[in-house]
Chain A
Amino acid sequence: MRRYQEKDNVQNRAYYNDRFWVAPQIPKESVEDDKVFSEDLESLKSKFEIKEAYIQRGQMVVYIDARDNKAVLTHLRDKLSYNFLSEMSAIDWLAKSNEFEIFYQMLSTSKRKRLRVKCFIKENEAIESVEDIYKSANWAEREMYDMMGVKVNNHPYLKRILMPDDWQGHPLRKTYPLHGDEAAQWYEVDKIFGKDYREIIGPENRDAAYVNERDTKHFARIKHEVKFGEKPSKEPTDLMDYQEEGGVFLIKKLKKDESITLKERR
């Protein structure tokens, strides 16, 4: 019987889990412990709705309403001197709650503090672009759209950035398999030769670890090398002495005894 695999998350899973094992949590410290962060949080709380805030491993995490994202980031930049948006992207929680979690990783060089602003949006919702606050969001949002399919409103040029423009699907979603979906298998065949050639060429093998033992033309068996394209053999060959017939480029025949090894660098 084929092993059951969940459809909403096709990523690798641990093959064995202890029934009684409970994963420990990284402690969430109170924001009051840190003077700078508590002041920042007070300032944010006076203007915006803060859903949750804590410090984890030295960085403050603030959950806000997704509709406030632009106002919060403007406030952070202008009032609280968080002058860098070092990173932003999304996390796929579609299987759990049909949501994307979007995080903005901020840095203040004057306070030497890092802060993470987070918010949730539903799958069919869009988030407002922060490109006019931090220019660095321009490409980050494009990447988020490309990889996750999160739509960004009012972005100047929302277009795929890493994948080709006509790619189907968003690769970093949990529903997207590691080796690509069916559309990915046919992408290059369709693009280069056209759909008519599908039957002749066949789907692309996208598994980088794929090895066909019977195919000696493309996959040599180590210590059992045969000539190009011949059938596999059980006869062992000594790899160290194996040489191409007629030599390779510049070397007709490699004579190990006559070669010189340098004692030290020249």
Chain B
Amino acid sequence: METPRREYPNRLQPFFENLVFERDDNTMVINFGPQHPSAHGQLRLILELQGEQIVKAVPDIGYLHRGMEKMAENMIYNEFLPTTDRMDYIAAASNNYGFALAVEKLLDIEAPRRAQIIRTMLLEINRIISHLFWLATHALDVGAMSVFLFCFREREFAMDLMEDYCGARLTHSAVRIGGVPLDLPEGWLESLATFINKLPKDIEDYEGLLDENRIWKMRLEDVGVISPEEAQSWGCSGPTLRGSGIPWDIRKEEPYELYDELDFDVPVTDTCDSYGRYKLYMQEMRESVKILKQLIPMYKESDPQLMAHAPQYISAPKEDIMTQNYSLMQHFVLVTQGMRPPVGEVYVATESPKGELGFYINSQGDPYPYRLKLRAPSFWHTSILQKLLVGHYIADVVTIIGNLNIVFGEIDR
């Protein structure tokens, strides 16, 4: 039977036309998203157009809101760690790490050296994964299909490394409060070495495809210009901030983990546009490779301890739990009740692939945080869209959204 043509919109079947209406002043209001392949998640943009030019943009978010801050208030600290995976799911280990570091600051403990080395490795592999993913999707948005395929090939290699280490490909949970759960498996360092020897050549390939590509340059150059003042005022961070000529990398300026021992550069550009940021991302991947190369010999010299020794807060190694009564009792209490950090508050910022990832934790001495605020870089990079898009053409919207590297898991949290 043929379905009758609907004459009137009703609550069950509303007419969601992309064109909303045409107004008297000759501007047109259109909806971009929330289900748009280039919206990088559930972003809805309400755009007011004068011809093809945008005169007003209103980003609308919240379609992926899961209430992580609320969940954190109802979970013990260790329980919340896997939830942080679901923030920036492109680089999950950097969220895990940000949270673990914040809690460690709260408890005033430090992870042992080998754990620090492994964590730094995971962070940098995650940075590469995230940047490759960014390049792949951004190039696809702009119309370069082959770059997408190349990037995903290399990303697969990096994901396999993560899988070999922790068993998960996307939601790693590979970091624990106080260290890491596992040592590197056999042969992992060799695979890593193969990967980081291969990657610089691949980056050259991408650059060969894109750097002087006429379409790529036309679509990226002088598009999405963020002035340094704007970048500061709107709270930009990470590559978006450094793309505006402000040399601020938390790894360098407020070093955490092993970054003060490692030799790497922070690429900065003052072109302020999308093309400059693209060059920056490519350079950052090379720096990550440089860092990983330095970490391999450091790992070999380190002691095998993986978790910090703080019996009040962190369970003893499995071997002790299985053999010693007191360790078992402590483990039982820590698992069933959770650790009780001291009363106080911390704000700890780390440099995630997307920018400044901050965790504000207010502890009242209970096993549950009293208040936990997640500062996700993409949230602030999305808010700048309302300023940035105005004056651009509709075709540039996709370029700008793609270029800002926003991930909706951490915007809506």
Contacts and interface: CB of A to CB of B under 8 A. Distances in A.
A82 B263 CA distance: 28
A200 interface: no
Nearest to B349: A86
Nearest to A12: B74
B299 to A, nearest CB: 22
A135 B160 CA distance: 41
Contact of B342 (A26, A163, A193): A26
Interface in B228-276: 230, 232-235, 237, 246, 248, 253-254
B343 A83 contact: no
Interface in A92-144: 92, 103, 105, 107, 109, 112, 114, 116, 134-136, 138-139
A25 interface: yes
B368 A11 contact: yes
Of B105, B157, B373, B382, most buried by chain A (CB within 10 Å of CB) is B373
Interface string A52-85: 0000110101000000000000000000000111
Contacts of A265: 157, 160
Interface in B322-380: 337-338, 340, 342-347, 349, 356, 358, 360, 362, 364-368, 370-371, 373, 375, 379-380
A222 interface: no
Contact of A116 (B61, B235, B246, B347): B347
A62 to B, nearest CB: 13
A249 interface: no
Contact of B343 (A15, A24, A147, A191): A24
A162 interface: yes
B383 A138 contact: yes
Given A57-B346, A112-B254, A178 B74 contact: yes
B337 A86 contact: no
Question: Closest 5 CB pairs between A and B?
Answer: A23-B365, A26-B344, A136-B235, A162-B62, A139-B383
Interface string B38-73: 000000000000000000000001100101011101
A192 B11 contact: yes
A251 interface: no
A86 B366 contact: no
Nearest to B387: A135
Interface of A: 11-16, 23-26, 56-57, 59, 61, 83-87, 89, 91-92, 103, 105, 107, 109, 112, 114, 116, 134-136, 138-139, 147, 160-164, 171-172, 176, 178, 191-194, 265
B62 to A, nearest CB: 4
Contacts of B67: 171
Contacts of B356: 86
Given A23-B364, A57-B346, A178-B70, A84 B61 contact: no
A91 B70 contact: no
B342 A86 contact: no
Contact of B358 (A103, A105, A171, A193): A105
Nearest to B58: A157
A162 B347 contact: no
A194 B11 contact: yes
Of B70, B105, B364, most buried by chain A (CB within 10 Å of CB) is B70
7 contacts: A14-B337, A26-B346, A57-B106, A89-B360, A162-B61, A178-B70, A192-B12
Contacts of B154: none
Contact-size category for B: 35 or more
Contacts of B108: 26, 57
A227 to B, nearest CB: 31
A56 B345 contact: yes
Given A109-B248, A178-B70, A89 B358 contact: no
B347 A23 contact: no
Contacts of A92: 371
A181 B382 CA distance: 30
A227 B331 CA distance: 41
B345 to A, nearest CB: 7
A83 B232 contact: yes
B358 A57 contact: no
Of B368, B371, B384, B413, most buried by chain A (CB within 10 Å of CB) is B371
Contact of B360 (A16, A105, A147): A105
A137 to B, nearest CB: 9
B75 interface: yes
B412 interface: yes
Given A11-B73, A135-B234, A163 B62 contact: yes
Contacts of A136: 233-235, 380, 383
B362 A112 contact: no
A201 B73 CA distance: 31
A139 B380 contact: yes
Contact of B366 (A14, A24, A114): A14
A97 to B, nearest CB: 14
A145 B303 CA distance: 49
B62 A161 contact: yes
A176 B368 CA distance: 16
Contacts of A61: 345
Contact of B61 (A16, A112, A161, A178): A161
A193 B11 contact: yes
Contacts of A172: 69-70, 73
A86 B343 contact: no
Of A11, A135, A178, most buried by chain B (CB within 10 Å of CB) is A135
A215 B263 CA distance: 59
Contacts of A192: 11-12
Contacts of B366: 13-14, 23
A103 B338 CA distance: 27
A19 B300 CA distance: 47
Given A12-B368, A23-B365, 16 more contacts: A13-B366, A13-B368, A23-B343, A24-B343, A26-B106, A56-B344, A59-B347, A84-B232, A87-B373, A92-B371, A135-B235, A136-B234, A139-B379, A139-B382, A162-B62, A265-B157
A193 B67 CA distance: 25
B73 A86 contact: no
B61 A86 contact: no
